[in-house]
Structures are given as structure tokens and as C-alpha cells.
Structure 1
């Protein structure tokens, strides 16, 4: 791989060119790239031109989380995600759901990992090997090409029959090239919606019963349906009061539960990223990036209280991941970016202003 850094725009163009060329036989490439983008956001290096090591098992956990909800029946049927007879990743997710006693329910992957740790580790190992043998070693290769254009990471040790021992010899990792992690993080808001569109198109193509009249396939695949946040509402009201986190007005009985770091940018459902909001604030904020002062407030909540709620309702806090994501998202934004500061109110981003979470070491 050349040590020269690709500019973010050129990086994004090459990613899209690879994905738009040829006919995918599975959605695994899209899932792998989404996982890479999320990892990059949470591990933006201090030096924007630095290389970043990415553990494949970490990618596997993120990919498994993507498919976790998608394997539930849609319109009474199982959605195919591959044209191959053996769909390794969805099958691993379904076997873990069965072992954890979740079935088609809405419990999170974190809950399943706690209930069935041995099967979870087996699923993670299977997805890790699948990523190495299939999408990762094809992610940078144009159809008909015999070698990859390694503009994201070096993949020469990956192939269809790569063994676990070979992966261990390479630290179970790939290494993103100079500036790639920073570039992917900066492009996340553009690339992820494009990947979702491609994913929906692939699923429609692989499932003939999905015609244009079938409602909200995208919602089923990418959480516009979302897991039910209702079980969070009352414990949060008991712990923090029945007032809007943003404007402090009293809340209605069925008020929204809002993702502080936008769901559309990084789908973190952990309690550390959730707050109670009124409908006015929730509707006005939508997919906007909140002002850093809002992130300060949400990360300064009592962690013991969050952990107690997590234990009570079997819901992870994901505090460390929220901190890492906040750091990566904001460090990837140019100074002066517009952020949401309240209803009809905005603030310009000033990264020179100190915030403890912006200085966390991402390694």
C-alpha cells in the first residue's frame, strides 16, 4: 500500500466505485464497510494521517450487531442476505438468539452475550472467520481483477481459505492506511446512507416477495423501527425526573427517548446515549449533532445510576463506546460546524474549547 494519504473525497469516491461495480452475492461487503466506518469514528487518531489497527473480532461484533435485528422475520418471512445456500452471519445470529432464549424478541446482542456467553463467543469466532474469508478480502477488488487495490488496508494475507492460525499470526487485525480512519469518520454522514440504500436494494433483489409495495424494508433493516425504548422511559423518569433533558419542561406520559449522538450517524442504543425529551425538542433536533455542552451534560450523569438501571432492565450502558464515538465524531468535524443547541438555537463548533472526552486516547 502506498504511504501517501488519500483525500477524504477521493477515498469516498473509490469506496463507492468498488461497491457500485458488479453484482454482490451477499450484503456482507456492506456490513463490513459499515463496521469499519463505525470503528473509525470511535478510533480517530490524534494524527489525522496516522494508520489505525483494526481487530477483526471487533469488526465481527459490530457486523453481528448489524444483522442482529435483521434476522427477525419480516412480513412473516426470513429475509435472505446471500445468494449462497449457507448464510454464515445470519445463521450465527439466529443460533445465538435461540441459545439466549430471545427468539424473535427485541433484546439486544449484549443481553444475549450475557445469557449465552459460550454460544456468543462461538458466533463471534464464526463471523470473524467469515469476514476474513469473504468480504474483507474482496472489499477492495473490482470484478474481474486478480489483485486488490489496497486503498483501505493491506489484505494480501486474506483469502477464501485463510485459517485461524494465519489470522493470529497477523494479530487478528487489519491496518487502515494513512489517513483512512480519519477520512472514513469524516465521510460517515455521506457513506452510511448510501450503504443503507445499496443494502435495501440487495435485499429486495434477493427476496422476490419484496416488491415496491412492501412497506418500510429499510425500517426493518436499519432501525427506523428501532428497538422499543419504552422500558427505558420509566426508570429514567424515576432516576432523573420527568423533565426534558434539553429544555427542562415537564414531560408527557409517552414522551420520546432520544439518542443524543444521532442514530443516523452511529446507532448506539446504550443508556449513556439516551435521554428523555419532549416532542418539541426531539422533533427539532432530529438527526442534528448536538452542541458539545449537551454532550458534556449527558456524559456527566451519575454512572452508578446508569449501571443500576442497566442491571434492572438488562440494557447495556455502553458508556466507553459513547465517549469514544463522541470524541471521534467531533474531532472529525471542521471548526465552525453548526451544532444543535436547543429548539431553533444553534452553536458553532469550537474544538479549542476544552472537553475531557475530546482528549481520551482512542487506543
Structure 2
């Protein structure tokens, strides 16, 4: 069911106003907003004014992915992300890392999920309840106000002690109001960097040892230390040959693995979003959106082959997620925007809904 479209600029102003007024006692609101934005990109409704149902467990998975690299020690310290004595989301995240035997930086949440499915579900259950009891019912409330202004979603059933049974009665989900999903997706490129800046400021405030000269706090928090993709390289070379996906040049031993949909837009490490690349193409493409023709080639790869590689190296393909993210990202781009089509080459975007990808 749809309604009136939302002015994205006004929506963004209201989101920022909520965050900038008052003192945040945890980074949970920021994480929840980031998760909401990514969910909107990957589940974009067909019409701009449509509502969007958002399972809270889906947000929990995305929040878990955000905190996953952040719980690693930084400068010998576990970074505080809350002024409360018990940081439930961080505790749940660390419990999953321990259960899955994660000691390296390069193991993703999805790999941990394959290793320890029961521990993963416990983490999701705990984070789901935490989101419902804390940030989701406070996200739309101005400091000092006893009531919220539900401009994003109805939060009337959420409170500090909301039970699992109450959540089940509401379908374990929130419903974004008409037009909000499109608005948040369109604002992703502006809101996400702003949220990161606020996040870094909050973490510096909560961790007194973080002086201005401590290097790259943002890098530690937001995954600049990417998942180690080395395990993908040899299986890909065996199947596809030792050639750059983009230009076809023969590859050396330690060539890059490229995220086709850039990491800066969506942090998807699944095999369906990865290709072999030469250093020249990898560096030239950087964080650019690939041309539709490239995305077509990527998603036309044999799904059975990717699933076979996935089974052999215990690495998820995430093809459905890649398709959903690609649809959302391309549909949100202005017509004619330049996309990367090869080394020193661009192509103007001209696309309808890509039915061939589904």
C-alpha cells in the first residue's frame, strides 16, 4: 500500500536533527539507521511512495555486521560504544566470534554463521530484542520529549521492556511509512558518511585514551581492514582462468579480488560480488559504480559453479543479496550518471528495472 511521496531532503533533515540534539549514550541509534538505509537499498519498493516492512531480525544481522570488526581490540583496548555498564550488542557479537573460533580479521559474519549456526541465532535473537527495547523506540524521540514523532515508522508497540511475544504479535517487524524507504535509499550517499562522523566522535568521547592524534579510528570502526579475500583467489582462477574479469589480462600470483558493487556502497563479500582483477583495473575502478554491462556479466556467471566453490571453501555466494542491492543502487541513480566501464572508460547510465538479473 502506498501514500504520498516523501521529500528526501526534508526526511534527511529530520533524521539529522534527531541525532544532533542531545547526548547519545550509545552508538546503537547510528547503527540502527545505517542498517535501515542498507535494508532500503536492498529491498527498494517498486513505487517511490510505497511502505516497506522491515523484519527486526534483518536489522539485527546488519547491525551485527557493522559491529563485527569494531569489537576487535584497538591500540590494546576494547572500545566502549555505550556509557552503560553492559553493552548487549557488543557482548552478543563477541560471543559469536568466540563460538565460531574467529581470531583473524578476515572472517565475515556469514562465515561465522556457517561455522556456528546456533551461536549465530542466539546473537541475532539478543540483538533483535535489544534493538526493539532501545534504539528503535527512541530513534524518533527528541530529548526531553515524553512522546516520539513517528515520521519513519510506527513505534507505538515498542518500549524499554517490550517482550518477545509482543514483537511476534507485530510480525517481528516495523513498517516504514509511505515514501520513507525510497527517501532513505536516495540519501544513502549523504547520510552514511555523516553517521560515520558522528560515530567516530561518540567513540572518542566514550574512550578517554583516544586523543586526536590516535591514528585511523574511523578505519578500525568501519571496515577499512577488509575481509581477507585470499581464500577466493585460487578457486576463482581454477574455474575462470588467471585473467582479469574486466580487461582479460593475465594475472600474477597475488592479484586483487575486486568487489563489483563497491564496498563503499554495500559491504557484500559474497562470491557473487567478487571477481579476479588486475591491479590496474582494481585501482582505476576504486569505489566507482560499474556499468550495467559489467553487472550483467557478473550476474550471468553460472550459479551452480559459484555454489560449488562456496561449498568447497565455506564462503557464501549471497547472489540474491547482490541482485537486490544492484537493483536498488541503480534505480536510485540519476539518469545519465557516469559509471565505470573499464580502465579509463565510463558509460552513462541508462537503465530500466533489470529483470534479467532476477
| TM-score using structure 2 length | 0.96
Q: CA RMSD in A?
A: 1.6
Aligned to 1:181: 181
In the alignment, does 2:115 pair up with 1:115? yes
Q: Is the contact made by 2:263 and 2:287 (CA closer than 8 Å) also made in structure 1?
A: yes
CA distance in 1, matches of 2:251, 2:276: 8
Please give the alpha-carbon distance, in whole angstroms, between the structure 2 residues aligned to 1:319 and 1:354: 15
Q: Bigger CA drift: 89-98 or 221-230?
A: 221-230
User: How do 1:60-209 residues align onto structure 2 when only pairs under 5 Å count?
Assistant: 60-103=60-103, 105-209=105-209
Answer yes or no: is the 8 Å Cα contact 2:35–2:59 preserved in 1: yes
Alignment of 1:1-12 (within 5 A): 4-12=4-12
Q: What per-residue deviation string (whole Å, max 9, x for no partner) do you get for residues 163-196 of structure 1? A: 1111111111100111111111111111111111
Report SS of the residue matched to 1:54.
strand
Q: What is the distance in 2 between the residues matched to 1:96 and 1:104? A: 14
The more displaced of 112-121 and 12-21 is 112-121
The 1:198–1:353 alpha-carbon spacing in structure 2 relative to 1, beyond 3 Å, is closer
Q: CA deviation at 1:105?
A: 4.8
Q: Distance in 2 between matches of 1:45 and 1:83?
A: 37
Number of matched residues?
A: 357
Distance in 1 between residues matched to 2:88 and 2:202, nearest whole Å: 17
Structure 1 unpaired stretches of 5+: none
Contact kept? 2:3, 2:49, Cα under 8 Å? no
C-alpha deviation, 1:84, in angstroms: 0.4
**Superposed displacement of residue 104, structure 1:** 5.3
Q: Which runs of 5+ in 2 are unaligned?
A: none
| Preserved CA contact (<8 Å) 1:97 1:104 | no
Instruction: Give the Cα–Cα distance (whole angstroms) in 1 for the partners of residues 55 and 355 of structure 2.
Output: 28
CA distance in 1, matches of 2:121, 2:76: 29
Normalised by the length of structure 1, the TM-score is: 0.95
Report the equivalent of 1:260: 260
Greater than 4 Å deviation, 4+ residue runs: none
Q: Indicate conservation of the 8 Å contact 2:71/2:79, yes or no.
A: yes
Q: Is the 8 A contact 2:50 2:179 kept in 1?
A: yes
Of residues 111-120 and 79-88 in structure 1, the stretch that sits farther from structure 2 once superposed is 111-120
Q: CA 1:91/1:104 → structure 2, altered by over 3 Å: closer, same or farther? A: farther
Partners in 1 of 2:352 and 2:218 — Cα distance? 39
